[in-house]
Amino acid sequence: MAQEVHYADGAPKGADETEGGTPEAGASFYGFETRTLEGESVSLADWEGQVALVVNVASRCGLTPQYTELEAMHERLADRGFTVLGFPSNDFGKQEPGTAEEIREFCSATYGVTFPMFEKRPVTGDGR
């Protein structure tokens, strides 16, 4: 099932999104698309049927060391249909100021992150 997706920057949006980019009531997580830190468009439907732990992450947060446990969980449970999906955001205390490349390098070099990481996105809504 192909869906056209629009991003907040004017790119196509998901079928389950309103014009402002806010999900409609009852919208499925799996009906959305996003971009990886490498800039590739991916459908969250790729993880349908798996248990997905969706985590808001930041490189300069006091909880940043949780990357170690998240990666261990991802490695230990991946063959059982479990994945960690990391979504960086700079909305909370400006703790993720880096570019996609900087975030990717930090996560890989510092914590050996191999679970899917996605582009930095606002998560608190417009102007919040």
Q: From CA 94, how far away is CA 89, in angstroms rounded? A: 8
> Does 61 qualify as catalytic in the annotation?
yes
Structure tokens at 44: 């969250």
Three-state secondary structure call for residue 79: helix
* d(C-alpha 33, C-alpha 104), whole Å: 19
Contact call for residues 119 and 100 (beta carbons, < 8 A) = yes
Spatial contact of 76 and 115, defined as CB atoms under 8 Å apart: no
Residue 70 carries which side chain, given as an amino acid letter?
A: L
Q: Which listed residue (15, 61, 73, 100) is catalytic? A: 61
Q: Which residues are catalytic?
A: 61
